[in-house]
Amino acid sequence: MSRYIDRSKAVNDKEQYDKLFEKRGIKKVIQYRSPLANFVTDEEKAKIDCHQIIWKYGMSFEFLASEYYGDFRQWWVIASFNNKPTESHVQLGDTIKIPKDISEALGVVS
């Protein structure tokens, strides 16, 4: 399932990008809008059976998604479930929860 399915789009035709647009032979760019953060509460997390791992050097959400879900593209589910938008929000030694059933996770992160 694509994370862009329900995402709205916006037209970027701001003057500050005129040189870039001209260089590329375009007048505007259509972009996906950033979603509003949907933080998962501790109560919601407690209802879902999870694997717990300790964040180590070299880990990534893509690696974890590939290992636990068989699809690296589901990295955003793990990131959203832990309220960590990117790996830079995770510190070495942090506990990361990985929902065992991705469909349950999608119910709280979508």
The model's pTM is: 0.67
pLDDT tens, residue by residue, 17-75:
899 899 999 999 888 877 666 788 889 989 999 999 999 999 999 999 999 999 999 99
**Both tokens assigned to 24:** 């590329």
Per the CB < 8 A criterion, the answer to whether 96 and 78 are in contact is yes
Q: Domain 42-109 classified CATH 3.10.350.10?
A: yes
- List, in sequence order, every beta strand (DSSP E) within the chain: 9-12, 29-32, 50-54, 95-99
The whole-number pLDDT of residue 109 equals 85
pLDDT band at 1 (very low <50, low <70, confident <90, very high): low
Ordered by start, the domain boundaries in the chain are 1-36, 42-109
pLDDT tens for 66-106 read 999 999 999 999 999 999 989 999 999 999 999 999 999 98
